[in-house]
Amino acid sequence: MKIVIAIVALIASLYSEDIYTNALINETSPYLKQHAHNPVDWYPWGKIAFDKAKREDKLIFVSIGYSTCHWCHVMEKESFTDIKIAQLLNRDYISIKVDREQFPHIDKKYQQIFSSATNRSGGWPLSLFLTPDREPLYISTYIPRYEGYGSIGMEKLLPYLSDIYHNKRDKMVELIDRYKRADTDIYRDTNESIHFEKKLIEKTISQIERSYDKINGGFANRPKFPESSKISLLLDIYRVSGEKRAFDMAKYSLEKMARSGLYDQIDGGFFRYTTDAEWQIPHFEKMLYTNAELISLYSDMYLLEPNPLYLKVIKESISQIDRDLMRDGLYLSASDADSDGEEGGYYIYNYTELMDTLKKGDFNASELSATLHYLGIEEDGNIDGELSHSHITSSQAPKRVDEVILYLRELRKNRTFPFVDEKINTAWNAMMIKALFRASRIDKRYIPIAKKRLKNLLTTLSKDGTLYHQTIADKKPTQIGILEDYSFVIDALIEAHQVTLDEKYLQRANDFAKRAIKLFYRNDRWYLSSDDIETLADIYDSLYTSPLSMMLHNLSLLALLEDDIDFSQIVDKSLDRYGRVLNSAPSYAPKLMSTLLLHKIGGLVIKSSRKNLEKYSKKISKIRYPFVYRKTQKESDYLACKIGSCFAYSKDIDGLISELERR
């Protein structure tokens, strides 16, 4: 009997996950390292894996995901730790793991092909089956271990595709041709002259209204994302046209989100999305980019209509990001949804456990009942009938709610904080730095913090005018920057210039813009990277604002601030390239539509000495014109300028404002 037990123990130890080590062990990506002890013989994306596939005449399996992706974790547990699936992959495939946050252009390329071929949106994990020449044979998202969820299942799919590749040439060519046609469709010409007139603004509002949730705010049904760029477009439309419908949709959505389960009512910060239309139950991952864009958006809304709720969200979110995602003066990428294997385990509450804790305080029963009801924490729960995630249920807060929240925070301190992805991503850091500068228009205490973070970013991830895409703390960056890095760094630099009036920021923005054009703008088309993976940049705001739309917005602003006609002409050409979308479905590309408003209506630059511009910043901010910017000059008189000309002049600011109001 002892011998049998020993043999069983030996076999168990052989199949424990740490007995396996693959090539991912040497990678820096936290996501790749999560798979370093799978029995699958994983390789990182690169020449070694591709050469091996050709040499051994094997199909390539590519799994694209990211470290805080719930369904990526599910597929790993079901398939990539399973011995039988691992044996099938190792026998018939060369398996490659890709961190989509490390190589977003690779992910985008195949997401585009998948969507074009299937007329469905993609997602993560993205599962690719490629020939040794890297031609797509089959693309899917999550694939279960066994047949289910409308999928054949890994156990049957792996031998099926391998058999097609080796034994059924006609079927293989048919599958490859399908994806080739889809890839070609991505490059279809959408050139069309833009019909920019009042009707286009009305069309945009009407399209957004069709997806607008009048009861809960926001857009669509479920899952429900914040869609920051769409709300930002509504505010731009309001600035341009005074259209109250646009303002009301933006305002109501932001108020509902701030009181909802999308927002962490206990610690601050936003989750990535909710699984329901009412914004109650989130998927519990927190992304740096989600919070950065929302902090900027709430700051914009506060500047239009001050509201203590917006200010609370701004300050709490900045504090939460600084506390949980800060490392050596820069920001980490994200925190996971799971804690100790339970989704939302760090954030949700058991009513009985909570009441036992709160009884230690000096609260009476009615205070506790009212406060917990206000926080949406009920005895029957809103998750699986027993657990609760907080959301605000009333506009009137009980007197002692802040004290109760302190107890709720203390309860969390005894739990395991979710896994944090420690990648320092250039684009996302730039988004957060821009958010700090934007918030500093409300609270100037954020200015020195934002300046310090920006200096850290440029010192760590920029060298000789070239940006790098990401790094890990204490590691030297090696991955050359892509379009999104340049787009969002330039945006942060322009914001830094407008807040501080320091010309060095504008000069850096100008230099990076010229570098970006050289790297990513080829034959009147924009690409996501400068390497051999030719992925067209697109105009659609997905996880966050489209890097291409952001770049065009930057170039339009730099054309205005630097009086640069070349930048303006590139924007003109690029907007016309997507004219068909802007003319027919402008709400599908919110940031591009915002860029069109800026570019066609034109911004206004107020020029004077730095001393004057700082002294009269409040008066300048109240000028009744949708897009107003500041630029220093040596002279102390005042000018109002557009691209190519200055059209108003005065010796004093009031005189300039009066002249502008007469026009």
**pTM of the full predicted structure?**
0.93
Q: Compute the distance between CA of residue 228 and CA of residue 484 in angstroms, rounded to an integer.
A: 17
Q: Which whole number is the average pLDDT over 619-635?
A: 94
- The pLDDT assigned to 18 comes to 61
Q: Compute the distance between CA of residue 232 and CA of residue 294 in angstroms, rounded to an integer.
A: 10
Q: Compute the distance between CA of residue 139 and CA of residue 117 in angstroms, rounded to an integer.
A: 9
Q: Which whole number is the average pLDDT over 448-454?
A: 99
Q: Compute the distance between CA of residue 127 and CA of residue 96 in angstroms, rounded to an integer.
A: 10
- The pLDDT assigned to 3 comes to 53
Q: Which whole number is the average pLDDT over 555-563?
A: 97
SS3 114: helix
For the purposes of burial, counting CB atoms within 10 Å of the CB of 234, is it exposed (0-12), middle (13-18) or buried (19 or more)?
Answer: buried
Phi/psi region, residue 644 (left: phi>0; alpha: psi -120 to 50; beta: rest), is: left
- The pLDDT assigned to 151 comes to 80
The model's pLDDT over 155-171, given as tens digits with 9 standing for 90+, comes to: 999 999 999 999 999 99
Predicted confidence (pLDDT) at residue 189 exceeds the cutoff of 90: no
Fold of 198-337+421-601: Glycosyltransferase (1.50.10)
- The pLDDT assigned to 186 comes to 74
- The pLDDT assigned to 196 comes to 87
Strand residues in 236-313 grouped as ranges (E)? 273-274, 282-283, 286-287
Predicted confidence (pLDDT) at residue 624 exceeds the cutoff of 80: yes
Predicted confidence (pLDDT) at residue 238 exceeds the cutoff of 70: yes
- The pLDDT assigned to 256 comes to 98
Query: Hey, where are the domains in the chain?
Result: 2-186, 198-337+421-601, 347-414, 604-662
- The pLDDT assigned to 8 comes to 41
The model's pLDDT over 492-541, given as tens digits with 9 standing for 90+, comes to: 999 999 999 999 999 999 999 999 999 999 999 999 999 988 899 999 99
- Average pLDDT of the chain is 93
Predicted confidence (pLDDT) at residue 2 exceeds the cutoff of 50: no
Taking a C-beta distance cutoff of 8 angstroms, is the pair 396, 457 a contact?
Answer: no
The model's pLDDT over 341-385, given as tens digits with 9 standing for 90+, comes to: 889 999 999 888 888 888 888 888 888 888 989 999 888 888 876
- The pLDDT assigned to 12 comes to 42
- The pLDDT assigned to 358 comes to 86
Q: Compute the distance between CA of residue 262 and CA of residue 446 in angstroms, rounded to an integer.
A: 25
The model's pLDDT over 301-317, given as tens digits with 9 standing for 90+, comes to: 999 999 999 999 999 99
Predicted confidence (pLDDT) at residue 1 exceeds the cutoff of 70: no
Output the CA–CA distances (angstroms, integers) from residue 44 to 27, 65, 275, 634, in the order listed: 8, 13, 32, 54
Q: Which long-range contacts (CB under 8 A, 24 or more apart) does 271-274 make?
A: 272/225, 273/223, 273/224, 273/225, 273/226, 274/222, 274/223, 274/224
Fold of 2-186: Glutaredoxin (3.40.30)
The model's pLDDT over 385-429, given as tens digits with 9 standing for 90+, comes to: 668 889 999 888 998 999 999 999 999 999 999 999 999 999 999
- The pLDDT assigned to 360 comes to 81
The model's pLDDT over 70-121, given as tens digits with 9 standing for 90+, comes to: 899 999 999 999 999 999 999 999 999 999 999 999 999 999 999 999 989 8
